[in-house]
Amino acid sequence: MDHLVIIGNGISGVTAARTVRKTSKMKITIISGETDHFFSRTALMYIYMGHMKYEHTKPYEDWFWEKNGINLIKGWVEKIDTDNKYVEMKDGRIINWSKLLLATGSQPNKFGWPGQDLPGVQGFYSLQDLELMEQNTAGIDHAIIVGGGLIGIEVAEMLHSRNIPVTFLVRENNFWDIILPEEEAKMINREIVEHGIDLRLATELKEILPDKNGRVRAVVTDKDEEISCGFVALTVGVHPNISLVKNSKIETGRGVLVNDFLETSVPDVYAAGDCAEIIVPGEARNRIEQLWYTGRMQGESVGKTIAGKRTKYERGIWFNSAKFLDLEYQTYGFVSNIPLESENSFYWEHENGKHALRIVYKKENRAVTGINVFGIRMRHKVCENWIRERRPLEYVLTHLRDANFDPEFFKRHEQAVIDHYNKKNPQNKLQLRRRRLPAGLFSE
Amino acid sequence: MQLIQINETELTLSHQKLGTLKKAGLGLVGLGTLFLLLALTGLATNSPVLFIVLSLGLMTGGAFISFYAQRKEEPPGIKNNQIWQKSFTARGSAAWILGVAVTGFYIVLYWFPDLLEHWIRMVDPVAYVLYNGPADQWFLYGFFYTVAILIMGSRMILVKYRHSNYQKIRTASIMFFQTGFAFLIPFVLKALNQPDFYFTYFWPLKYDYLFPGTVDYLLSHPGGLGVFMVFWGAVMTFLATPVLTWFFGKRWYCSWVCGCGGLANTAGDPFRQLSDKSLTAWKTERRMIYSVLVFIIVTTALLWLNSIYSGSVLGSLSQGFKKTYGFAIGAMFSGVIGVGFYPIMGTRVWCRFGCPMAAYLGILQKFFSRFRITTNGGQCISCGNCSTYCEMGIDVRWYAQRGENIVRASCVGCGVCSAVCPRGVLNLENGPRENRFSILNAFYK
Ligand SMILES: Cc1cc2nc3c(=O)[nH]c(=O)nc-3n(C[C@H](O)[C@H](O)[C@H](O)COP(=O)(O)OP(=O)(O)OC[C@H]3O[C@@H](n4cnc5c(N)ncnc54)[C@H](O)[C@@H]3O)c2cc1C
Ligand code: SF4
Ligand code: SF4
């Protein structure tokens, strides 16, 4: 019988295992060194904040695995032999496989700063990092976060929940403006400051200084400013975790190199999730997707392939979502941080600075290509359809109500958005359409 | 750098000030509690009004001061910080102490009301205002119950869910129905010498409202009100309940009207995360709650047969039933375990495992309703906040992470899963029934 061995029990590996199990009886083993059971990495912050305990972050109860015939092994794989088709564990155990899936995830980046390995300085990715952070932040009275991305702001929120004063060093001129247009980035700047977090934009880390016991004492910024602290979080992105694969015959680049079917250079060996680098013929740069959603979609796709139905990984129309402190964010399609030559964008922001909507469209035919939305929940399916069907901006605006996904009785902003458009385009005034669904009393 | 240092000190200072204010508020609540306990010893007998002010007054005042401080401290939004780290909300020793105290209160209330004599006398002035008669243990209970819902309901509206209009309006509704229909009206009826009747409780929850004995009694009551009450009870049970549930799901009752749900969703809110989410708990729940419903249906039917055949079927058993069931379900379950165990088992133990009305509404919701919780496409990150904070112990994430809608008999539509979801994945909606269960497209093909 075929034996599928999966290294990594994250969303990619687990989704693949579940997908295989739906159609195949092959033996499945998942190996991971981090935890006994699959847990939600995205929920790590909530454990620190006390919203949940570790056990709540496990998406399946512990009986689930045995019931579905999925073996779990806790431990680290140290060697992959693709000629004789086995992996060797740190404790010496040998596990044979007929198919191997690499789903080893990522590792936090470090850029060689002096002092980056001092006690009290750490990245934030794994459950072990969380435990370390628990120790590292006990009793401190100031923390520094380096790097303004999605993980950085989560760490800021975590520390803030414990009333630990935070200084946030962000290289960019506005928060996350390598992804977000300026208005949205500025909105997040304000959100951060409003929470009492000391945000330092356009500021980089130069070095980290130890105290006499060799523990972190302060950081020095590129402006030669010294800020004392008891804790430094380095959240400057992640890179594929491929140290294990590098010593095997499987080809790697920045990640494990795979084709559109998530097959590696070695037959019967696959890779999915954060660790995979998808070769894109005709594009300058290969794709590495480091998201929960893409991990799930890749896991599903590679699972089908492994189970015998060779399936191309197609991620469909892009979407993502996040929460910046209390500000919810969703994005659909593609919104460039710096406007593209061929595109225009429509932007509305509520005067209270807590709600915003950006719709990007093609100059030539006004077809909508991307949406950013803050402080309003929108319906995934509707936004996706608009983009797929290349609906023009005006169509999207007049049908905005169809996409609203805010809870009942929330203040609706569609009319304000339309008014904003009409003010700018007095010659082409739009009228908001009625919501297309028959609504009960409670839902309008 | 100097400048930033100053800013920070200021920031910490203002935080400290608010921290102190909050503590002061909580201190007043503690002081009020102390006076309340003192009143038990008989100290309040000569000056009941003074003691009401000293106990409940201080508690209310202190609570509102702490609400104010919390509002200033944090911008609106979900802040479940430290819930699983504090003894009080994470089944620690503080939780056990509170659980034992509340359970003790219920035991005394049901079996040793004499011990509460001094409290009952303390609330006499309130009873006199309402119905011009002395208070009894049930008046005391109703009064405390309503005060708890009002204070903790204010916390929901002013602090915890102040960013959510759904939660604000829903909580206001609970407070209204509790104060008006479950407290004031029944006692005003008493003042007017009318039958004891709650307009917001119906068969099968108030199982005896459709028992032949009650119906006979109400019908024979002089004046038209008794007849109206019988009519009201029957219409609510057999017509209004199915119709309203068809449109809105069981939430119209469980999260907007009912006093048991009302207490759970206000005073119980700090404990909602303690419900058991396991599959085993779900199985137990179904077994228990439908047994209770069947039991009540069968009994009601038998009692009617009995009364039609003038006592030849059951003899005097019907009285016996009233007593046993009233004790087992009314006292033991809904009170002692249902509320006393809030800090240990979560808030909706009774609603989930024992309430016959919930069972009836649940069947309607599952099979004859337009209500569902919609999952927003593929946006779920499986974080688990929704499941953790579902007071009914529904593993919401199980459905959300597959992109499936949630249509569960037990969902009371409190809306908290939707509120705590950090990715805006969940939404309570009433809509067309095609594809109500199905993936991604509840409304859109
Ligand atoms: C704090 C944080 C918040 C995030 N929030 C979001 C979010 O909100 N939305 C979003 O889309 N994405 C988010 N992400 C990213 C998302 O979590 C990842 O993209 C996703 O978890 C990757 O899944 P994976 O299965 O590919 O790898 P992982 O989840 O990293 O799983 C890989 C597993 O393999 C194990 N492993 C590696 N090497 C070995 C070995 N040699 N032997 C044994 N085991 C091994 C690792 O220990 C790990 O357990 C977040 C990430 C972090 C760190
Ligand atoms: S599923 Fe959501 S709305 Fe229903 S009871 Fe649970 S938390 Fe409340
Ligand atoms: S809270 Fe939201 S994101 Fe988290 S598991 Fe539930 S539905 Fe998914």
- Would you call A50 and B85 a contact, using CB atoms and an 8 Å cutoff? yes
Confidence of residue B93 (pLDDT cuts 50, 70, 90): very high
- Would you call B385 and A43 a contact, using CB atoms and an 8 Å cutoff? yes
User: pLDDT at position B9, please?
Assistant: 43
User: How far, in Å, CA of B288 to CA of B292, rounded?
Assistant: 6
User: pLDDT at position A439, please?
Assistant: 40
What's the average model confidence in pLDDT over A34-52? Answer: 98
pLDDT digits (tens, 9 = 90+) for B25-54: 999 999 999 999 999 988 888 899 999 999
pLDDT score of B292 more than 70: yes
The full DSSP string for A149-181 is SHHHHHHHHHHHHTT--EEEE-SSSSTTTTTS-
The better pLDDT of the pair B441, A318 is held by A318
What's the average model confidence in pLDDT over A320-329? Answer: 98
Q: Which atom in ligand 2 lies closest to the alpha carbon of residue B415?
A: 3
Q: Which atom in ligand 3 lies closest to the alpha carbon of residue B417?
A: 1
- Cα distances (Å, whole numbers) of residue A346 to A343, A363, A372, A425: 10, 12, 10, 11
Range with lowest mean pLDDT among A312-316, B6-10, B173-177, B228-232? B6-10
- Would you call B382 and A59 a contact, using CB atoms and an 8 Å cutoff? yes
Nearest CA to CA, how far is B340 from chain A (Å)?
24
Which residue, among B372, B419, B422, B423, has the nearest Cα to B399 in the 3D structure? B372
Residues A204/A230, Cβ–Cβ less than 8 Å: no
Confidence of residue B2 (pLDDT cuts 50, 70, 90): very low
Q: Which CATH superfamily is domain A121-236 in?
A: FAD/NAD(P)-binding domain (3.50.50.60)
What's the average model confidence in pLDDT over A412-419? Answer: 98
Stated length of chain A = 444
pLDDT score of A67 more than 60: yes
Which residue, among A19, A10, A64, A98, has the nearest Cα to A291 in the 3D structure? A10
C-alpha B391 – ligand 2 centre gap (Å): 7
- Ligand 3, residues B273, B382, B440: which to mutate, most atoms within 8 A of Cβ? B382
Residues A374/A328, Cβ–Cβ less than 8 Å: yes
- Would you call A440 and B164 a contact, using CB atoms and an 8 Å cutoff? no
- CATH number assigned to the domain covering A3-107+239-306: 3.50.50.60
Q: Domain A319-443 class? A: alpha beta
pLDDT score of B67 more than 80: yes
User: pLDDT at position B320, please?
Assistant: 66
User: pLDDT at position A1, please?
Assistant: 87
Nearest CA to CA, how far is A12 from chain B (Å)?
12
Element containing residue A440 per DSSP (H, E): none
What 3-state class would DSSP assign to A185? helix
Instruction: Say if B165 is an interface residue toward chain A (CB within 8 Å).
Output: yes
Confidence of residue A437 (pLDDT cuts 50, 70, 90): low
Element containing residue B403 per DSSP (H, E): none
User: pLDDT at position B331, please?
Assistant: 64
Nearest CA to CA, how far is B166 from chain A (Å)?
6
DSSP character for B54? I
- Ligand 1, residues A106, A238, A325, A328: which to mutate, most atoms within 8 A of Cβ? A106
Nearest CA to CA, how far is A49 from chain B (Å)?
5
C-alpha A22 – ligand 3 centre gap (Å): 24
User: Which parts of A302-407 are beta strand (E)?
Assistant: 319-324, 327-333, 343-349, 356-362, 368-374
Domain ranges of chain A: 3-107+239-306, 121-236, 319-443
C-alpha B265 – ligand 2 centre gap (Å): 11
User: How far, in Å, CA of B366 to CA of B370, rounded?
Assistant: 9
pLDDT digits (tens, 9 = 90+) for B245-264: 999 999 999 999 999 999 99
Burial class of residue A129, CB neighbours in 10 A (0-12, 13-18, 19+): middle
What 3-state class would DSSP assign to A244? helix
User: pLDDT at position B16, please?
Assistant: 63
- Cα distances (Å, whole numbers) of residue A45 to A40, B81, B321: 10, 11, 53
Q: Identify the nearest ligand to the CA of A323 by its number.
A: 1
Contact residues on chain A for B75, CB-CB shorter than 8 A: 194-195, 326
- Ligand 1, residues A14, A48, A292: which to mutate, most atoms within 8 A of Cβ? A292
Q: Does residue B406 have its Cβ closer than 6 Å to ligand 3?
A: no
- Would you call A165 and B11 a contact, using CB atoms and an 8 Å cutoff? yes
> Alpha helices of B309-400 — where are they, by DSSP H?
317-325, 342-345, 349-353, 356-367, 385-389, 396-400
User: pLDDT at position B318, please?
Assistant: 62
Average pLDDT in chain A: 96
Of A52, A198, A406, the CB nearest to B384: A52
User: How far, in Å, CA of A287 to CA of A256, rounded?
Assistant: 11
Instruction: Say if B3 is an interface residue toward chain A (CB within 8 Å).
Output: no
pLDDT score of B8 more than 50: no
Average pLDDT in chain B: 90
User: pLDDT at position B207, please?
Assistant: 84
Using N-to-C axis directions, what is the helix angle for B225-235 and B212-220, rounded to 10°? 140
Contact residues on chain A for B86, CB-CB shorter than 8 A: 50
C-alpha B170 – ligand 2 centre gap (Å): 14
pLDDT score of A315 more than 80: yes
Q: Identify the nearest ligand to the CA of B380 by its number.
A: 3
Confidence of residue B319 (pLDDT cuts 50, 70, 90): low
A41 to chain B: closest CA residue: B383
- Would you call A326 and B443 a contact, using CB atoms and an 8 Å cutoff? no
What's the average model confidence in pLDDT over A181-208? Answer: 97
For A174-184, letters b (16+ CB in 10 Å) and e give bbbbebbbebb
User: How far, in Å, CA of B9 to CA of A20, rounded?
Assistant: 57
Q: Does residue A255 have its Cβ closer than 6 Å to ligand 1?
A: no
User: pLDDT at position B305, please?
Assistant: 86
Interface test with B, best of A39, A161, A203, A442 (most B CBs within 10 A): A442
User: pLDDT at position B337, please?
Assistant: 79
pLDDT digits (tens, 9 = 90+) for A247-284: 999 999 999 999 999 999 999 999 999 999 999 888 87
What's the average model confidence in pLDDT over B405-434? Answer: 95
pLDDT digits (tens, 9 = 90+) for A95-116: 999 999 999 999 999 999 999 9
Range with lowest mean pLDDT among A90-94, A130-134, B216-220, B358-362? B216-220
What's the average model confidence in pLDDT over A13-35? Answer: 98
Residues B382/B401, Cβ–Cβ less than 8 Å: yes
What 3-state class would DSSP assign to A116? coil
Kindly give, in sequence order, each residue whose CB lies less than 8 Å from that of residue B409, ignoring residues fewer than 6 positions away: B362, B363, B365, B366
Contact residues on chain A for B379, CB-CB shorter than 8 A: 293, 319, 321, 330, 380
C-alpha A273 – ligand 1 centre gap (Å): 8
Interface test with A, best of B8, B88, B443 (most A CBs within 10 A): B443
Residues A304/A264, Cβ–Cβ less than 8 Å: no
**Long-range contacts of A84-92, Cβ-Cβ distance < 8 Å, separation of 24 or more:** A85/A268, A87/A5, A87/A7, A87/A31, A89/A31, A90/A33
- Cα distances (Å, whole numbers) of residue A345 to A225, A277, A371, B14, B174: 39, 31, 9, 41, 45
Per CATH, A3-107+239-306 and A121-236 having the same topology is answered: yes
What's the average model confidence in pLDDT over A152-174? Answer: 97
What's the average model confidence in pLDDT over A370-375? Answer: 98
Confidence of residue B442 (pLDDT cuts 50, 70, 90): very low
User: pLDDT at position A97, please?
Assistant: 98
Instruction: Say if B92 is an interface residue toward chain A (CB within 8 Å).
Output: no
pLDDT digits (tens, 9 = 90+) for B376-397: 999 999 999 999 999 999 999 9
User: pLDDT at position B440, please?
Assistant: 46
